[in-house]
Structure 1
Amino acid sequence: MIATLIGAASVGAWLYLLLGRGFFWRVEEAPEAAGPMVNARVTVVIPARNEADGIARTVRSLLTQNHPGPLTIVLVDDHSTDGTADLARAAARAVNAADRLIVLPARDLPSGWTGKLWAVSEGLDRTRETAPDFILLTDADITHAPDNVSTLVRRALADDLDLTSLMVRLSTETLPERALIPAFVFFFFMLYPPRWAANPASKLAAAAGGCMLVRPAALEKIGGIAAIRGALIDDCSLAAAIKRAGGRIRLDPSTRTRSSRVYGSAREIWSMIARTAFTQLHYSTPLLVGTLLGLGVTYLAPPLLTIFGQDKARWLGIVAWLAMAACFYPTVRLYDRSAAWAFALPAIALFYSAATFGSAVNYWRGKGGQWKGRAQAIR
């Protein structure tokens, strides 16, 4: 009887996720932006802390955009010790665009700020000199497609958007990435369905911090980046602040603009998840317990009931597992993985559940939000 009830709850959960969660699982790139190319002034702000591995690719990809308007990069070197700034300058010189790169050393981190947002704030202060029509906030490990800036600008103008962002294609070079990274995108869109984020009538807001084009007026309206200075999940916090102020936002997946950050081991992916998972739960132990129980019923029960269940419970497990695979398959396909990976989501979800618990443990130990040697979520 208990197994049957669990199976029914799992089937119900997947019917809701398939039909009632904004069809988040239909991961498709945005349609081609309407309208002609626009000579908008764009300033790119890149916070960079020890980003030697990817900064040259990022700078080159931005300085060789087909965007017809002026484009300037403000790179804020956040106390790097690996030559990040010099590599960025060399990359700009290599494409004869050294005059369009400004490198700023970040001042010491003030109390109450996360390191990334303080570096962004330093860069935004400098954008007053360039008076841009749009500001592109991007990470130091993003390789932008040649038409990325022009497409984002055209989309923002066509749809009257204050913030438009891309969930860039994440690296799947290593086996741990191929196994675990597509699920990260799946879970992100499940938490933040893009259709709901774009709907002005919905309170839900979302953005992906690797690539966000924002209007300066929208930033000013919320009181600048200082309005979210302590936010660990800074991208979604920025989107929420802009949407609350009446701004229009949009989030889309991208396969052509990519992250060059490689996670060489499952442990590195674990750390990436654990950095913000407990923050997402508002550091609440009851929410953590409820989430882990919910993950168990939704993801782990279907295969267990399929293998060990009897009669009706087994059939409910089979139906739930098939629905789960159908829901995950579009993301698997987006990342060019075999359809068989769609049936591996229960095992992948177990890994994410353990990392979420690990995130709570880090927080309880005073080591939450670890990034580049900084603990940013302190009890």
Structure 2
Amino acid sequence: MFSCAAWAWLLLGQGLFWRSDQRLPHGSAEPEHWPTVAIVVPARDEAEVLPLSLPSLLAQDYPGRAEIVLVDDGSTDGTGDLARELAARRCGKGSRAGLPLTVVSPGAPEPGWTGKLWAVRHGIGVVRARGAEAPGFLLLTDADIAHAPDSLRRLVAAAVSHRLDLVSQMARLRVAGVWERLVVPAFVYFFCQLYPFRRINRGGGRTAAAAGGCVLLRAETAARAGVPDVIRDAVIDDVALARAVRRAGGRIWLGLADGVESVRPYPRLADLWGMVARSAYAQLRHSGALLAVTVAGLALVYLAPPLCLALGLTGQGGAVAAWAGGAAWAVMAGTYAPMLRYYRQPLWLAALLPVTAALYLLMTVDSAVRHHRGRGAAWKGRTYPAPRAAADR
């Protein structure tokens, strides 16, 4: 019965998180004067994915002035040289040369900075130091994100026409292998449950979040909010960024992406496990009490319904338990279906959401274990043992 009550509230009282209709609006009025945009791409050992992502930025069909600054953050796989080569290849094709590219390197991060935010800070600083026309907007996008040709144009049109200071799209993650199909859509589903997009996009709301792979940020607002310095050690930097912008009086918008996709593969369960465990405990503010509440909540909401149904059907829990468990499981699957449609996956996977939730429960516990063993959040050879959580911003 508790699970049924929980799912009734989640269905109607959590900002309709399960709907997938928060998308960048088509047909936003285009500005008479297109603002200058600086695209900042932090990149550390990204030679594997760069050929799939950087050409899409170089090919942006943007009516105004725009440039790309790729910040090679101590790569050891030739990321910077490859980026220059990809830009040179496009220039040599004889067609539209594409956006200009600058590759810079910031050196090792100063104490108290995560590598990504240190790279972003350096990229923004390079643009501001040139003394040319100051950019009106910054597009912060990860090195594994591929953009449709009109992506930047649509982002800027939406920001200008709706007077938004931050426009972010949750990139469609790669879903190809068995484990990606089981884990990836649920990753976005759980994020939406934690940060309902409708509440984020409601003017004056308290909920704030962004998706770090694609963030268009008004440059004036970034300076007013002190970004990125004010969030310099945030592991969950996208949520921290959105909260900093909202505190500075900025208007934010977050939705699911069309035409913005991650090309990074996660073929093994271990790859996906590391992605989640890297920051799960930071999201809980490194609190044992919050960890216990989260584990109990996941068990009650996602694991109890199939267990109650099984006990009821075997005669050990009674008809009430069977009906309650079945009803809660049905609502659970129904709320997951829109996300599966968005990811173009078969709807029968919705019935496996309790299995995926059990995996996320174990990943969250493992994240806490890693933290208390001194390993903390780790990414490409760097470890951040005690970052501030997004909730502390």
Structures share fold, TM-score greater than 0.5: yes
**Offset at 1:377?**
3.0
Superposition map of 1:18-37 within 5 A:
18-28=11-21, 29-36=23-30
> Does the CA-based 8 Å contact 2:227-2:244 persist in structure 1?
no
**Offset at 1:202?**
1.7
> Does the CA-based 8 Å contact 1:274-1:356 persist in structure 2?
yes
Structure 2 residue 160 is matched with structure 1 residue 133 = no
Structure 2 residue 327 is matched with structure 1 residue 322 = no
Structure 2 residue 374 is matched with structure 1 residue 366 = yes
Q: 1:238 aligns with which of 234, 241, 250?
A: 241
Structure 1 counterpart of 2:53, one-letter code: T
Task: Give 1:356's aligned residue.
Answer: 364
> Does the CA-based 8 Å contact 1:136-1:214 persist in structure 2?
yes
Task: Give 2:276's aligned residue.
Answer: 273
> Does the CA-based 8 Å contact 2:24-2:158 persist in structure 1?
no
**Offset at 1:39?**
2.4
Alpha-carbon distance between aligned partners in 2 of 1:197 and 1:341, rounded to the nearest angstrom: 28
Q: 1:156 aligns with which of 140, 150, 159?
A: 159
Q: 1:133-181, CA deviations, whole angstroms, 9 ceiling, x for partnerless residues?
A: 1100000000001110000000001110000000010001222111110
**Offset at 1:98?**
8.1
Task: Give 1:77's aligned residue.
Answer: 72
Alpha-carbon distance between aligned partners in 1 of 2:40 and 2:198, rounded to the nearest angstrom: 27
Structure 2 residue 353 is matched with structure 1 residue 345 = yes
Alpha-carbon distance between aligned partners in 1 of 2:177 and 2:84, rounded to the nearest angstrom: 30
Question: Which SS does the other structure have where 2:135 is aligned?
Answer: coil
**Offset at 1:95?**
1.5
Q: 2:319 aligns with which of 311, 315, 340?
A: 311
Superposition map of 1:197-216 within 5 A:
197-216=200-219
**Alignment root-mean-square deviation, CA:** 1.3
TM-score (norm 2): 0.92
Alpha-carbon distance between aligned partners in 1 of 2:50 and 2:27, rounded to the nearest angstrom: 28
Structure 1 counterpart of 2:140, one-letter code: L
Question: Which SS does the other structure have where 2:163 is aligned?
Answer: coil
Question: Which SS does the other structure have where 1:95 is aligned?
Answer: helix
**Offset at 1:222?**
1.1
Alpha-carbon distance between aligned partners in 2 of 1:42 and 1:95, rounded to the nearest angstrom: 20
Superposition map of 1:111-190 within 5 A:
111-128=111-128, 129=130, 131-190=134-193
Structure 2 residue 194 is matched with structure 1 residue 191 = yes
Q: 1:189-248, CA deviations, whole angstroms, 9 ceiling, x for partnerless residues?
A: 111111111123221101000000001111111123100001110001000010011100
Alpha-carbon distance between aligned partners in 1 of 2:20 and 2:346, rounded to the nearest angstrom: 16
Structure 1 counterpart of 2:102, one-letter code: I
- Aligned-residue sequence identity (percent) comes to 45
- The total of aligned residue pairs comes to 372
Question: Which SS does the other structure have where 1:370 is aligned?
Answer: strand
More off after superposition, 46-55 vs 93-102: 93-102
Structure 1: 5+ residue stretches without partners: 1-7
Structure 2: 5+ residue stretches without partners: 92-96, 313-317, 388-393
Task: Give 1:5's aligned residue.
Answer: none
**Which runs of structure 1 show a deviation greater than 3 angstroms over 4 or more consecutive aligned residues?**
none
**Offset at 1:313?**
1.2
